Structure 1
Amino acid sequence: MPAPDVSATARLAVFAPLENRGRAETITRRLADAISLGLLADGEQLPSEPELAARLKVATVTVREALGELRGQGLIVTRRGRGGGSFVRAPERSERVERLRRRLHDLTVADLRDLGDHYAALAAGAALLAAERSSPEDLEHLEEAVEAFAGAAGAERRYHADGRFHVEVAAAAQSARLTREEIRMQTEIGPLLWLPGADGRTRRRLDRQHREIVAAIAAEDGDRAARLAREHVTEAVERLVELHLGLVEP
């Protein structure tokens, strides 16, 4: 079934044509990112190989190679026969958390701050453009994303809802390239940002920040939207740095 609370603009970015004769590893990374972020839901059927090739503007054999790599990673399963096809298989939470904790341990504080700077700049730029370009439909999707986070039960659903919120901000900027970069950054640092967890106070603060960002976008106040988005990301990175130091210090 399709992933919930995701705008058509955000999903189109997943299947947008690749640039410069896209290769199998590019397709693999893009689809793996979308699965990790929840833009492609567990159990969802992917388009057929010919349809994917047509959407991405690559050869069918390139798509076949990418799907084979995704199967090898355990991110899709392929069923033969009537009603068959390739279906998304989202990783188990325990498996994913352990892998993320190992990755966080191996990063340095400098690595995290560099990632955080990149992500904060991206989030701020997307919010600024969204304030200038968003349509009433975009604002509706943003409000839905805010409410999805507020009503999400459990860390896994909150992580996906938070990630989708940021993707929707980028989608509201009316830039497929920016949306794809947001998806890539979400999958690179987004899961790490949720490793520290979020107590009730933190969840309420995140909810308030989401609402303030959307309000600034709706008011067409780009400077405020950008500042709030940057602060939102910077705070999350600081929580992650604290967790990292706890993992590496004896």
Structure 2
Amino acid sequence: MTAGSNDETVLTSTALAGIGRRSAVEAVRIRIGRAVALGLLKPGERLPDQNEIALGLSVSPITARRAMTSLAEEGIVVRRRGRDGGTFVADEVPRAVLDRLKAPADESAAVHTLVDRRMLFECAITHYATLNATPAELTELDQLTKKMAAARDWSDYHRFDRQFHLLVARSAHMDGAHPVYEQALEELYEHFIPYEIALLRRANDDHVALVRALEQKDLIAAVDIARGHVATLHNSMFMGLSDGR
């Protein structure tokens, strides 16, 4: 699912029977609701505008707008007008509403499967990127790490993160593998939830270290960094997380 998709789009990963059909709007509601329930979005925190939410969650603007309107009607977020206005996490979030905004229990297992699949791809493309990345590609990767370090919020960061990993894949110069990797990445990103920017910037340390390993053509270090970077996703950032994790 990508920005500009039709609002009636449903999540239907045929490879993962554990993830059921749901509207794109409901998926965004759950993703925002999970972030609030887990304390990743805090009471009173200002959210990006709707177009940025759409870009950060890889959905259409109309999907983001309808989801945020619904969350406002239910008291999860509040909208304020004026120069300092915008959309904010409510100071008092209705717990009963958050309790309803949960992915099915079997979705967590499906997300872990997606993480493991991406890990296999990530290690393979990193292997070949270490051997084949050009100086120009390495320079662009380094620039993207700087953009992530300066990202204003999770939406900004997520867009640069996506560009970074797709560029690593292109740097492998395995044209047949690139579309398969991109599909695996996008399927996993459908479960990304907003995360604290300070912690995302810490995750960017892995990107910086990976670029250094690619520059030095240190194959073992590069693959180990890539493996560890993806492995952490088993414990963070995705819709399958529960309050007790």
Q: TM-score, normalised by structure 2?
A: 0.57
Q: Which runs of 5 or more residues in structure 1 are unaligned? A: 1-31, 36-41, 43-68, 76-87
The answer to whether the Cα contact below 8 Å between 2:155 and 2:194 also exists between their aligned partners in 1 is: no
**Identity over aligned residues, as a percent?**
19
User: Per-residue displacement from partner, 1:126-158 (whole Å, max 9, x unpaired)?
Assistant: 111100001111111211221121122111111
Match of 2:217 in 1: 220
What is the RMSD of the two structures over their aligned residues, measured on CA atoms? Answer: 3.4
Match of 2:196 in 1: 198
Deviation at 1:106, TM superposition (A): 5.6
The answer to whether the Cα contact below 8 Å between 1:149 and 1:207 also exists between their aligned partners in 2 is: yes
The answer to whether the Cα contact below 8 Å between 1:93 and 1:156 also exists between their aligned partners in 2 is: no
Alpha-carbon distance change, 89 to 233 in structure 1, aligned in 2, over 3 angstroms: same
Match of 1:185 in 2: 184
Give the Cα separation in 1 of the matches to 2:208 and 2:185.
19
User: Per-residue displacement from partner, 1:17-36 (whole Å, max 9, x unpaired)?
Assistant: xxxxxxxxxxxxxxx54x4x
Q: Secondary structure at the residue paired with 2:177?
A: helix
Match of 1:164 in 2: 163
1:115-194 alignment to 2 at 5 Å? 115-193=114-192
Give the Cα separation in 1 of the matches to 2:131 and 2:165.
16
Q: How many residues align?
A: 167
Match of 1:92 in 2: 64
Alpha-carbon distance change, 204 to 71 in structure 1, aligned in 2, over 3 angstroms: closer
Structure 1 or 2: more helix by fraction: 1
Give the Cα separation in 2 of the matches to 1:169 and 1:158.
17
Q: Secondary structure at the residue paired with 1:113?
A: helix
Q: Which runs of 5 or more residues in structure 2 are unaligned? A: 10-23, 25-58, 72-99
The answer to whether the Cα contact below 8 Å between 1:133 and 1:173 also exists between their aligned partners in 2 is: yes
The answer to whether the Cα contact below 8 Å between 1:131 and 1:221 also exists between their aligned partners in 2 is: yes
The answer to whether the Cα contact below 8 Å between 1:126 and 1:170 also exists between their aligned partners in 2 is: yes
Give the Cα separation in 1 of the matches to 2:201 and 2:148.
10
The answer to whether the Cα contact below 8 Å between 1:166 and 1:182 also exists between their aligned partners in 2 is: no
Match of 2:37 in 1: none
The answer to whether the Cα contact below 8 Å between 1:196 and 1:239 also exists between their aligned partners in 2 is: no
The answer to whether the Cα contact below 8 Å between 1:104 and 1:192 also exists between their aligned partners in 2 is: no
